[in-house]
Homo-oligomer: A and B are copies of this chain.
Amino acid sequence: MKPYAFGVDMGGTTIKLGFFRKDGALIEKWEIPTRTENHGANLLTDIALAVLSKLAEKGIKTSDVEGIGMGVPGAVYNDGFVKPCANLNQWGGFDVATELSTLCKMPVKVVNDADAAALGEMKFGGGRGHKNVVFVTLGTGVGGGIIVDGKLVTGVHGAGGEIGHMKVKSGEVSMCGCGKKGCLEQYASATGIVRNTKLYLEQSGIESTLRQFDTLTCKNIFDCAKEGDIVAVNQVDEMTHMLGKALSNISCVVDPEVFVIGGGVSRAGDIIIENVKKYFLLYAFPATEDVDITLAKLGNDAGIYGCFTVVSD
């Protein structure tokens, strides 16, 4: 492998860039805004400029760079074609890898962003030392990445690891963003737990410190649960119950060594892990009980590390 490589993680608001040495050491990381106007017409030139000016700044030749690994918030086919991305104003519908490669004159590989984060956590974070890892990201939605024997399971429709849409509850009346009902995302995402808690507070007269917040957030709920507020405790219990049940079902399919829990909601910390473990054990097929459930370690950097992995492996 050549001495350097880039990892680029495209998010809805910022694009995170990492410049790596071939051993995986992060030399420098920085961000540029995600300009989604005109269906993101400037996105690839913005990235190319960022990459090439970093090389110019350091006086490093293109021929010393292995390439760019890039994560995008959408489905990726054949290592380069990206379906139009909802979070990027429908940017996509073309071979992103080839186009960026032409602009930068170096190899480019493109993957789904949750998959990139999964690879990053496997190689450098909470899944380090393992080759069979399930990464769960709890954010606005719930996403995932499935790694079997060191390789991503992307699925034939790009839906491998779409664990936010596993059905975990019967009798749900609200609809998930996907159009179906009872999806894990409706309970275990930040949006889900806030929605369910508000609904509960509206429908019950029970006292709760949660009533003091004008705009209730997921963090408020976890903070109040740690303080012992009974409504908050019950909501966290329900959320982790649904997540533990989903993980037990994932174990019956791919039987991993470790579940790595990341995303904004996971910043609540050990309270999530302890509760999820309890419910996982309630449901798990006995042979799969001996699995590690752990917090992600790389935070927002999981994506750039994973993108580096994609191009360096």
Contact = CB atoms under 8 A, between A and B. Distances in A.
A255 B159 contact: yes
A151 B160 CA distance: 16
A190 to B, nearest CB: 20
Interface of A: 75, 132, 146, 148-149, 151, 153-167, 169-170, 178-180, 182-183, 245, 248-257, 282-288, 290
Nearest to A255: B155
A255 B284 CA distance: 21
A259 to B, nearest CB: 12
A255 B153 CA distance: 8
B255 A157 contact: yes
Contacts of A153: 148, 253-255
A253 B154 CA distance: 9
A52 to B, nearest CB: 35
Contacts of A257: 156
B288 A162 contact: yes
A253 B287 contact: no
B155 A288 contact: yes
A162 B255 contact: yes
A155 B291 CA distance: 11
